[in-house]
Amino acid sequence: MHESDEADDAFAHQKLVEAVENQLKANQPEAAQATLNMLTLVGYSREDSLDLMAQVLAHSISLMLEKDEPFDLAGYEQALRRLPELPGAQA
């Protein structure tokens, strides 16, 4: 990976974390705060929890773009509630 790709990835990840923070502030969706509470309760730091939640958001956005459909809020909330298992991970 080139340095510019890594910088782009870091920038994109930071924007996803900011989006999750905004969801928490607005309490929309409610699953965001519930997920953060659950992850911290089982021992994840706030930073690690936000990182996991940002990965779920990125996955949901990429599905939306792949399928050329509106954002699937219900699917996003379900994926949040399955954390720390990431979307696409095999159980």
1 in a structural domain: no
91 in a structural domain: no
Number of CB atoms found within 10 A of residue 13's CB: 14
pLDDT at 71: 95
pLDDT at 64: 95
pLDDT at 2: 67
Which range of residues forms the domain containing residue 61?
Answer: 38-85
Count Cα neighbours of 58 within 13 Å in the Cβ-side half-sphere: 18
Mean pLDDT by 10 residues, the chain (91 residues): 77 95 96 97 97 96 95 96 86 47
pLDDT at 91: 47
C-alpha distance from residue 11 to each of 14, 20, 64, 70, 87 (Å):
5, 14, 20, 24, 21
Q: Give the total number of structural domains in the chain.
A: 1
51 in a structural domain: yes
